[in-house]
Amino acid sequence: MGKVTGVLFTFGVLTGERYSRYNVCMNIGQRLKRARLDAGFATMKQVSDALGLERTRYLKWEHGDAVPSLDMLVRLCRLFSVSADYLLGLDDEGEARLTADEIMVLKRMVRAHEAR
């Protein structure tokens, strides 16, 4: 199972739905851009620096060429102060924050996925 496929499978487990790679990547990319601008980050380089990533890695997420791992999804939610549901397109309320319980569940899912 490839990295993108594994992440999409996990998204499906979270929501009980199936997602095509195109729909998930485009939706997350559009929402990442909106969240980035709303959080006051003018450039993708500012976000990649804040996360300690190469700029091209974040650029691929925002352009819909790839999706972030679940661990990185949690970091993005914290950085932009939005919920994972918002970035995944399950909720249109961008202001929502992850609760401590949601973060713990996502971290467990990441560890379980990486252990496979």
Q: CB-based burial of residue 57 (10 Å sphere; 0-12 exposed, 13-18 middle, 19+ buried)?
A: middle
User: Between residues 81 and 14, which one has the greater pLDDT?
Assistant: 81
The CATH topology of domain 3-111 is: 434 Repressor (Amino-terminal Domain) (1.10.260)
Q: 14-54 pLDDT, tens per residue?
A: 444 444 444 455 478 889 999 999 899 999 999 999 999 99
HSE on the CB side for 93, CA within 13 Å?
Answer: 5
Please state the domain extents for the chain.
Answer: 3-111
> What is the model's pTM?
0.61
Report d(CA 75, CA 50) in Å as an integer: 10
Q: Is the pLDDT of residue 114 over 90?
A: no
Q: Is the pLDDT of residue 8 over 50?
A: no
Residues 67 and 103 sit within 8 Å (Cβ to Cβ): no
DSSP track, 93-109: -TT----HHHHHHHHHH
